[in-house]
Every structure is written in structure tokens, then in C-alpha cells.
């Protein structure tokens, strides 16, 4: 019987194992004999070279929305990589983005500061219709967040490396579309995949191209994508010198974020511990099992990662 390798690093594996075992023979380790029986691998940050030891591997499943942790393996076998994004994960990301956009927009940090000081002072509030939210990354997660924010009245636009469409969302793409997108954005939401082309894209020069209105406190950036999309030294500089008014970061170049990192102590930065979207096995495992069955029945897989694009 074909086996499924479960290798999810520092993620709690118990529920993943329990769900997959309902229909499949699941192993956490293998030797030379069992390696030949493994047909599927369900992974998160697998050790380089691990998958290359499986001579009959047919499909790799990522337990998270990102796949850079798989593609970075120089010995990665030439098999399909499936990125399983459930409605549950999409909902989590959308909730997080809406929460952080609203908190920045409705001056949550200022009101919390006033509360600590015992100050009763209503602040002028700009309406959502006058605020532009730009979303970098218009995949399933980005489109969901964009439509939720548009429904709340914000002016929403999106940018992606290649042309993408979302109902009622102004779309920009490629190198030529990036500057006009940024020049019209007050709150920047980053949901891009991590690829060689996007690594470090959130840098000081890019942040300097965000819109600055005379009667608005300044631009905001929210990164709920991947940590290596950003240059944290540049974000620190931008938050310190006024290039950015505020920021929320859920992901970091090094995780967990070291306690010595000065980002922890910035008053205009909200840090969350990679909590925007949880990979819930109760929702993702059934989708993986359906994909395995479909593959065995010759009905194909989807969505399969395009290795040339990195997502």
C-alpha cells in the first residue's frame, strides 16, 4: 500500500496525522525500504534533500499557503507541488487584513494612548471612501481581502507581477504598473508569494513611493505575506523618520522575532506572531485526501505550483 510522509517541522503534527490516517497509511520517518512505498508527502519546511530520498514520490502537498520553503530545496524532485488553500484559511487572512486596516484607519493606536493618559478627545476621522488601500498580491487571499475592504467603502486597488482581475478592483501589474499603484496607495497590504523576484521588495525606496496627502498622517504598511518580502532595517528607518506613519508586521525575516530586535519597541508598529492565517488540519486534510483520490483516478490535481513563477 502506498504511504504518505508527514513532515511538518515545528508544527504540531498530531491532528495532521490523525486526519490523514483516516484514509491513508501515514509515516513520520522512513528507512531505505519504506522510502520506496511513499507516494505522497505532506510537508512544511522539509529538510533539504529529504524529498529526493523518495524514489516513487508522486505529489508534494504544502500545509501552508507559501511554497518557497519547498522550492528552496536544491534537490527537489520533479513532481507536482500542490498548494491547498481552504476557505477557512482565506477567511482567517481576510479577517486579519480587515482588522489591521480598520485599526490603522480608525486611529486605534492614538485612542489607546489617550486611554492610558485618561484623555477624552475625539479625533477628526477621514471617511473610508477617501482612503485608498492597495493590495500587493491578487491571488485567492488577496482577492478575498480586496473585496471585503471594497464592501466596507474603501477605495481598493491591487498589484501583481502578472495581470490579474478582481471584480470592481483597479488592477496594476508588472514593473510599469508598480509606481502608479504605490502613488495612489495610503494603506499598503502585502500578500505576495515569496519568489526570487519578490524577495526584499518592501524596501525603503518602495515605501517612499506611497501616497502622502497634506491632511493625512502618512502611509501605512501591513505585511501578512512572507517575512523575506521585507527589508526590516528599511521598515525601521521608515517608521522612525516619518516615511511611514504606522505598520503592522505578522511575518519577519527571522522567526520567532528575536527579543533583542528593535522592532518590538517601536510605538507605531504592531507585531503579531505569524498569526494572520492558521493552517487548520480539520479543513486542509480533507482537501488533500480528495486530491490524492482524484490523482489516482486520473482526474488531475489543482492548484499545482508553477515552478517558473514560484507560486
67 torsion bin: left (phi>0), alpha (psi -120 to 50), beta (else) = alpha
Mean pLDDT of the region 45-53: 96
Q: SS3 for 25-92, per residue? A: EEECCCCHHHHCCEEEEEECCCCCCCHHHCCCCCEEEECCCCCHHHHCCCCCCCCCEEECCCHHHHHH
C-alpha dist (Å) from residue 89 to 61, 158, 242, 280, 311? 15, 20, 34, 7, 17
| Distance of alpha carbon 50 from alpha carbon 53, whole angstroms | 6
- In percent, the amount of the chain with pLDDT more than 90 equals 87
Does 90 have pLDDT greater than 80?
A: yes
Q: Among all residues, which ones are annotated catalytic?
A: 226, 274
| Distance of alpha carbon 259 from alpha carbon 37, whole angstroms | 44
Task: Give the 3-state secondary structure of residue 7.
Answer: strand
What band does 88 get if pLDDT is binned at 50, 70 and 90? confident
pLDDT the model gives residue 65: 80
Q: Taking the domains of the chain in order of start, what are their residue ranges? A: 3-86+280-296, 87-271
| Distance of alpha carbon 211 from alpha carbon 195, whole angstroms | 26
Does 3.30.720.110 match the CATH number of domain 87-271?
no
- Looking at every residue in the chain, the average pLDDT score rounds to 95
The answer to whether the 3-86+280-296 and 87-271 domains have the same CATH topology is yes
Does 167 have pLDDT greater than 90?
A: no
**CATH C-level class of 3-86+280-296:** alpha beta
| Pairwise pLDDT comparison (280 vs 261), residue with the higher score | 261
Does 49 have pLDDT greater than 90?
A: yes
Does 1 have pLDDT greater than 80?
A: no
pLDDT single digits (tens) 100-139: 999 999 999 999 999 999 999 999 999 999 999 999 999 9
Residue whose C-alpha cell reads 522612525 in the numeric block: 240
Q: How many angstroms separate the first and last alpha carbons of the chain?
A: 31
Q: Please, which residues have CB within 8 angstroms of residue 168's CB and are 6 or more apart in sequence?
A: 147, 150
Amino acid at each position: 500500500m502506498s504511504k504518505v510522509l508527514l513532515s511538518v517541522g515545528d508544527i504540531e503534527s498530531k491532528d495532521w496525522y490523525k486526519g490523514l490516517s483516516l484514509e491513508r497509511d501515514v509515516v513520520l520517518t522512513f528507512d531505505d525500504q519504506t522510502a520506496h512505498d511513499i507516494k505522497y508527502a505532506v510537508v512544511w519546511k522539509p529538510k533539504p534533500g529529504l524529498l529526493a530520498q523518495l524514489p516513487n514520490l508522486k505529489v508534494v502537498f504544502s500545509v501552508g499557503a507559501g511554497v518557497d520553503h519547498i522550492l528552496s530545496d536544491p534537490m527537489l524532485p520533479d513532481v507536482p507541488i500542490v498548494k491547498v488553500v481552504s476557505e477557512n484559511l482565506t477567511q482567517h487572512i481576510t479577517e486579519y487584513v480587515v482588522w489591521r486596516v480598520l485599526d490603522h484607519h480608525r486611529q486605534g493606536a492614538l485612542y489607546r494612548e489617550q486611554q492610558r493618559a485618561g484623555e477624552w478627545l475625539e479625533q477628526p476621522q477621514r471617511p473610508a471612501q477617501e482612503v485608498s488601500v492597495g493590495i500587493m498580491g491578487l491571488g485567492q487571499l488577496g482577492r478575498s481581502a480586496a473585496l471585503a475592504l471594497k464592501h466596507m467603502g474603501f477605495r481598493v486597488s491591487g498589484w501583481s507581477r502578472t495581470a490579474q482581475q478582481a471584480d470592481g478592483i483597479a488592477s496594476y501589474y508588472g514593473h510599469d504598473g508598480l509606481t502608479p499603484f504605490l502613488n495612489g496607495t495610503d494603506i499598503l497590504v502585502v500578500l505576495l508569494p515569496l519568489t526570487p523576484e519578490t524577495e526584499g521588495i518592501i524596501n525603503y525606496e518602495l515605501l517612499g513611493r506611497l501616497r502622502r496627502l497634506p491632511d493625512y498622517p502618512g502611509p501605512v504598511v501591513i505585511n501578512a505575506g512572507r517575512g523575506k518580502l521585507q527589508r526590516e532595517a528599511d521598515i525601521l528607518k521608515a517608521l522612525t523618520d516619518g516615511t511611514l506613519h504606522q505598520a503592522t508586521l505578522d511575518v519577519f525575516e527571522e522567526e520567532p522575532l528575536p527579543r533583542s530586535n528593535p522592532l518590538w519597541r517601536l510605538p507605531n508598529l504592531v507585531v503579531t506572531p505569524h498569526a494572520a492565517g492558521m493552517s487548520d488540519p480539520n479543513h486542509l486534510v480533507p482537501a488533500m485526501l480528495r486530491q490524492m483520490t482524484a490523482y489516482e483516478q486520473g482526474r488531475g490535481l489543482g492548484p499545482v505550483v508553477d515552478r517558473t513563477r514560484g507560486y
